[in-house]
Amino acid sequence: MQTDSSFTFVLFGGTGDLSMRKILPALYEAHRAGMLAASGKIVAVARHEEDRASYLQWVNEHVKAHVAKSGVDENAWASFVDRIEYVKLDLGRAEDFVKLRDALQDQSGTRVFYLATGPSLFVPICHALASVGLNENARIVLEKPLGYDLRSSNAINDAVGEIFSEEQIYRIDHYLGKEPVQNLLALRFGNALFEPLWRREWVESIQITIAEELGVEARGDFYDNTGALRDMVQNHLLQLLSIVAMEPPHSMDSDSVRDEKLRVLRALKPIDPRDISKVAVRGQYHAGVIRGTSVPAYATESGVKTDSATETFVALKVEIENWRWAGVPFFLRTGKRLADRVAEIVVNFRAVPHSALGASALRAGANRLVIRLQPNETIRLYCLAKKPGEGMNLSSVHLDLAFDQFFKEGQMEAYQRLLLDVINGRLALFVRRDEQEAAWKWVEPILNEWAASGKPKPYAAGTWGPAAASAMLAQHGTCWLEEEN
């Protein structure tokens, strides 16, 4: 599928980490797969490189290593690099934006401005683009985190909204571009089997985990001012939650899906500040061992304050106040330097109401659906079966669906899908302003309470986080599913 028409993709932060690791590799993949219109151009914008030749040298040195697990196709790489132009630009110099406008003058088709920069630059860049008329008929892509809290996110959205209309604004949450997240929609709304069970009458609790083995890498400075609640919960985890819990949308068009997600976000039970210690656990990793390698404590990572109170782990109990989900706890969890890299959704169904087969059929956890998003995409349905032999002894067994056995074509990377969507004007997988606001509003009491008092609980790197996260589930007679990996 080629993009419908010609385009110019202007990349601010052209020498940044995100451009190097994600955006340029994703554009290369789309190019290699023949999905970009032949006349489409990429215009990288940065301060550091002098001219196109030195920028291309940077691209060759830094981006190639992040491209395609299958290796680089040299011919495709050469023609990809041919698409790239470069404009050296200092954000503080108005005349540089005139230079950018002139450089874009001859380009036709859709114009995309991708702001792969810190959020503090979003508004100044938008103003500067508008001052030379470049906002007209263009699309703008904003990376997360958009703001620091509800107020700052509103301030950015208000300012950007004066220059670009909502239909021109693409707020990225890369989890929405992941193949397995798309598949969750297919599972829920393409099969009549699950939908009748997908509600409080049959579901006891739901867990959503995004666990990482990585630490803060080279982003200590950014992360120490952000923390896991802003970095992962406000966006990725709440987006996953809203897809798991939403009502069937009327269609897959952009507003039908986003309207339903918004309803879930607005139905999240507000957290009373007095209850925060009961429903929210924060942790920070100390030194430990992951897969046999010693890793340092968070507080000793470069860019991190030695007395930092930033959380690298969050576990939450969330409730949704509507007819479908009233009373069903949703347990969310994310953290860095945990025991494994895994992202999964666990739907725990209720035990049978009466067991004619003996007490073992009432065992909780026997009826369970595990949707794994990462590192491999699988769906596993646990049920009870009779053990061979005499008597009626039940044991948990599972049905497995491994997607890579069904589909030989490789998964499309999240960024590749999302960039193609921007170029083609498809908004469904981007976060609308009202969704973002609802998510900030819900996390705000926790942000405030944590900023005002207390410290994260320590956990050793390579474990599953502080014991308090398990204790929170134990109070509900359940536990995190951890033995699967």
Instruction: Judge whether 174 is annotated as a binding position.
Output: yes
Instruction: Judge whether 88 is annotated as a binding position.
Output: no
Instruction: Judge whether 129 is annotated as a binding position.
Output: no
In contact, 286 and 335? CB cutoff 8 Å: no
- The yes-or-no answer on residue 236 being catalytic is yes
190-198 CB contacts, 8 Å cutoff, 24+ apart: 194/369, 195/248, 197/349, 198/324, 198/347
Tally of CB atoms within 10 A around 249: 17
In contact, 96 and 130? CB cutoff 8 Å: no
Q: How far is the CB of 119 from ligand BG6 (least distance, A)?
A: 12
The residue to which tokens 């997240």 are assigned? 181
| Comparison of 204 and 212: residue with beta carbon closer to ligand BG6 | 212
Sign of CA pseudo-dihedral 64, 6, 119, 450: negative
| Comparison of 49 and 212: residue with beta carbon closer to ligand BG6 | 212
Instruction: Judge whether 212 is annotated as a binding position.
Output: yes
Q: How far is the CB of 308 from ligand BG6 (least distance, A)?
A: 16
330: tokens are: 């949703």
Instruction: Judge whether 143 is annotated as a binding position.
Output: no
In contact, 163 and 127? CB cutoff 8 Å: yes
| Comparison of 104 and 232: residue with beta carbon closer to ligand BG6 | 232
Phi, psi for 420 (deg, rounded to 5): -65, -40
Q: How far is the CB of 55 from ligand BG6 (least distance, A)?
A: 25
| Comparison of 231 and 311: residue with beta carbon closer to ligand BG6 | 231
Terminal Cα-to-Cα distance of the chain (whole angstroms): 35
Q: How far is the CB of 212 from ligand BG6 (least distance, A)?
A: 6
Distance CA 214, CA 335 (A): 9
Instruction: Judge whether 409 is annotated as a binding position.
Output: no
Catalytic residue among 48, 62, 66, 236: 236
Q: Looking at beta carbons, which residue is closest to ligand BG6?
A: 231
Residue 365 burial (C-beta neighbours within 10 Å; 0-12, 13-18, 19+): middle
Which residue in 177, 168, 161 sits closest to 122, CA to CA? 161
| Comparison of 231 and 344: residue with beta carbon closer to ligand BG6 | 231
Angle among Cα 382, 387, 389 to the nearest 5 degrees reads: 170
Distance CA 213, CA 209 (A): 13
Instruction: Judge whether 231 is annotated as a binding position.
Output: yes
Instruction: Judge whether 305 is annotated as a binding position.
Output: no
Q: How far is the CB of 217 from ligand BG6 (least distance, A)?
A: 8
Beta pairing, strands 368-374 & 342-349 = antiparallel
Contacts with ligand BG6, residue ranges (CB under 6 A): 212, 231
Q: How far is the CB of 443 from ligand BG6 (least distance, A)?
A: 15
| Comparison of 231 and 435: residue with beta carbon closer to ligand BG6 | 231
> Can you say which residues are annotated as belonging to the binding site for NADP(+)?
47, 90-91, 144
* Residues known to be catalytic: 236
Binding residues for substrate: 174, 178, 212, 231, 336
Show binding-site residues.
Answer: 47, 90-91, 144, 174, 178, 212, 231, 336
